[in-house]
Structure 1
Amino acid sequence: MDEDAETRLRVTLLGAVEVRRGDTVVPVPGARLRGLLIRLALAGGRAVDAGVLVDALWPEEGPADPANALQTLVSRLRRVLGASDAVAQVEGGYRLGVADDDVDVLRFERLAAAGRERLRAGDPQSAAALLDEAGRPVPRRGGGAVGRHPVDRAVRRGRGGSGRGPAGPGPVGRRGRAPERPAR
């Protein structure tokens, strides 16, 4: 087996948030730590400015020393992910050690856009193949949760999505319903 496949970091954001290093699920405890992971993962391995991360992680009232608080959180995420280079401090901020195809939502967006482009170009067979691939999560060795993935379930039911969550408008709360908004 290739060493890269055993150590490669993959992030699932569609459905339940999950991080894997090779075949091993890596639990990421705490909402703020998961928030940092998600914000970095959505950048697909590109740098995210420290100020953007601070604003995303502390939207209401920031910590007294935002740079120190962010660095502490980054250090915790590195420990959780099991590698000091999993989150790198680079010119322009911090970057997660992933490529676009290592993050399911970015892979989905790329394949769906390519499928739409092929359809517009008059190539429905290529479009169908790309859109079919976009609707299937990346297969995991040893099984895993592939069949339980929300996109996989929607495709089996013959729908492209639920109209909520990452594939459509509006936030989704617990039990798949939009959260209630407080009265003004």
Structure 2
Amino acid sequence: MKKITIYCGSQKGKNPVYEEGAIRLAEEMIRRKMDLVYGAGKVGLMGVMANQMLEVGRKVYGIIPQKLVDIEVAHHGCSELTVVETMRDRKWLMAERGDGFIAMPGGIGTLEELFEIMTLNQLAYIQKPLALYNVAGYYDKLVDFLDFAAGEGFIKKYQRDLLIISNDPGVLLDKMAAYEPKLEPDWGKG
């Protein structure tokens, strides 16, 4: 894995632990000589991640729709800034360019991106590792819900088990490196 697509908030959150977590993840990616693919924002946790990576000369690939460029949230310091027409175009390019995905604390957009990658993996459109960076237990309730949905038979156990979860960036990246895709989708089978 050389390029990690990061999904995260355009806000920093109320608790400084989220920004500290972003810095820890960036430091671990830098240590491993990884580059960043992200939504090209200069604000929130997105800006924190990009700035940490750029500060030491790592490549930062930003992908952003024109509408967000127009409202001046684009990070023009990215190594490569790709401006697209729609959010859908942005998400697809981010999915194509990353070797794996990490969802950090974030809002609705982050959750939507997380579930889209879970779906793309489930349907074998892509087969790349996906992780939740569970800073300060941010995703605990979501993980509980996913476990509940699996227990109720709406998410297959193997699908739930493919989601890597940790509050330690080193553990996340190690598990992502060890990821083995399920080669055949299991559509509709009990």
TM-score normalised by the chain length of structure 1: 0.29
Q: TM-score, structure 2 length as denominator?
A: 0.29
Q: Which has the higher strand share?
A: 2
Larger Rg computed on CA atoms: 1
- The answer to which structure, 1 or 2, has the higher relative contact order (CA under 8 A, 6+ apart) is 2
